[in-house]
Structure 1
Amino acid sequence: MKMKLFFMLLAGLLPVLLHAQDNPVPTPQWRPVYHFTPQKNWMNDPNGLIYLNGVYHLYYQHNPFENKWGHMSWGHATSKDLINWKHLPVAIPEIEGKDTTTWIFSGSAVWDKHNTSGFGKNGKGPVVAIYTGDQPKQKKESQFIAYSNDGGLTYTNYANNPVIDLRKGDFRDPSVIWLEDQQKWLMSVAHPGIQKIEFYSSANLKDWELLSEFDRQGDTRRMWECPSLTPFFVDGDPAKKKWLLMISSSSPGDGVGMQYFTGDFDGRTFTNDNHAATKLFVDYGRTFFAAIPFNHLPGDAKTMLGWLVPFETPTHPWRGQMSIARDLALKTTPEGIRLYQQPAAVLNAYLKKLSAAKTMLKRNITINNNELALSSAKSFNTNTNWIDATFTTGTAQDFGFKIAQQKDGNKVVAETVVGYNMARQELYITQVKDGKVVATLEKMAVKPVNNKIRLQVLFDKSSLEIFVNDGEKVLTTLLFPEKNATGFAAFAAEGDVQLDTLKVWNLDKIL
Structure 2
Amino acid sequence: MYWIGNFDGKHFVPDDIKARFVDFGYDFQAFQTWNNYVDDRVLMIGWMCVWDYCGLVPTRPWKGAQSLVRELSLEREASAIILVQKPVKQMEKLRSALKLELDKTDTLTARKMFRTNKVRGRSLEIKVEFKPHAKTKKVGFQIRSGEKEETIVCYDHFKEAVYIDRAKSGIIHKKMSLVDSANVVLQNGTLKLWIFLDWSSVEVFVNDGRQVITNLIFPQNDSSDEVDIFCLGHEAEVVSLKIYELNTTWEKYWNNNTWGGLTDNLKKVHIFKMNSIKAHSNLTEVSDSNYLWIFISVLIVCYGLLLNLLCRSFSRYF
Q: TM-score, normalised by structure 1?
A: 0.44
Shift of 1:372: 0.8
Shift of 1:464: 0.7
User: Which has the higher relative contact order, 1 or 2, with Cα contacts under 8 A spaced 6 or more apart?
Assistant: 2
Q: Is the 8 A contact 2:109 2:231 kept in 1?
A: yes
Give the equivalent residue in structure 2 for 1:485: 224
Residue 274 of structure 1 aligns to which amino acid in structure 2?
D
Q: Residues 357-372 of structure 1 correspond to what in structure 2 (within 5 A)? A: 358-362=98-102, 363-369=104-110, 370-372=112-114
**Shift in CA distance, 345/329, structure 1 to aligned 2, threshold 3 Å:** same
**1:419 partnered with 2:154:** yes
**1:392 partnered with 2:131:** yes
Residues in 1 aligned to 2:49 and 2:178: alpha-carbon distance in whole angstroms: 19
Give the equivalent residue in structure 2 for 1:430: 165
Give the equivalent residue in structure 1 for 2:19: 279
Residues in 1 aligned to 2:12 and 2:166: alpha-carbon distance in whole angstroms: 42
2:9 pairs with one of 253, 267, 278: 267
Q: Residues 114-129 of structure 1 correspond to what in structure 2 (within 5 A)? A: none
Shift of 1:444: 1.6
1:470 pairs with one of 198, 208, 213: 208
Give the equivalent residue in structure 2 for 1:45: none
Shift of 1:374: 2.1
Unaligned ranges ≥5, structure 1? 1-258, 408-412
Shift of 1:382: 2.6
Post-superposition Cα deviations, 1:178-228, rounded to whole Å, max 9, x if no partner, equal: xxxxxxxxxxxxxxxxxxxxxxxxxxxxxxxxxxxxxxxxxxxxxxxxxxx
Give the equivalent residue in structure 2 for 1:448: 186
**Shift in CA distance, 487/350, structure 1 to aligned 2, threshold 3 Å:** closer
Paired residues in the alignment total: 235
Shift of 1:496: 0.8
Higher relative strand content: 1
Q: Is the 8 A contact 1:382 1:508 kept in 2?
A: no
Give the equivalent residue in structure 2 for 1:327: 71
Percent identity over the alignment?
28
Residues in 2 aligned to 1:335 and 1:482: alpha-carbon distance in whole angstroms: 46
**Shift in CA distance, 477/431, structure 1 to aligned 2, threshold 3 Å:** closer
Q: Is the 8 A contact 2:94 2:247 kept in 1?
A: no
Shift of 1:287: 1.1
Residue 374 of structure 1 aligns to which amino acid in structure 2?
T
**1:304 partnered with 2:44:** yes
Residues in 2 aligned to 1:316 and 1:488: alpha-carbon distance in whole angstroms: 27
Post-superposition Cα deviations, 1:455-503, rounded to whole Å, max 9, x if no partner, equal: 0111101111111001111111111112221111111111211001111
3-state SS of the aligned residue for 1:372? coil
Q: TM-score, normalised by structure 2?
A: 0.69
Shift of 1:270: 1.1
Residues in 1 aligned to 2:38 and 2:91: alpha-carbon distance in whole angstroms: 15
Residues in 2 aligned to 1:508 and 1:371: alpha-carbon distance in whole angstroms: 28
Unaligned ranges ≥5, structure 2? 170-176, 253-318
Post-superposition Cα deviations, 1:399-432, rounded to whole Å, max 9, x if no partner, equal: 010011114xxxxx22121111111101122246
Residues in 2 aligned to 1:440 and 1:349: alpha-carbon distance in whole angstroms: 32
1:460 pairs with one of 186, 193, 198: 198
**Shift in CA distance, 282/415, structure 1 to aligned 2, threshold 3 Å:** same
Residue 346 of structure 1 aligns to which amino acid in structure 2?
Q
Residue 226 of structure 2 aligns to which amino acid in structure 1?
G
Q: Does 290-299 or 450-459 show the bigger shift?
A: 290-299
Residue 6 of structure 2 aligns to which amino acid in structure 1?
D
Q: Is the 8 A contact 1:282 1:339 kept in 2?
A: yes
Residue 294 of structure 1 aligns to which amino acid in structure 2?
W
Higher relative helix content: 2
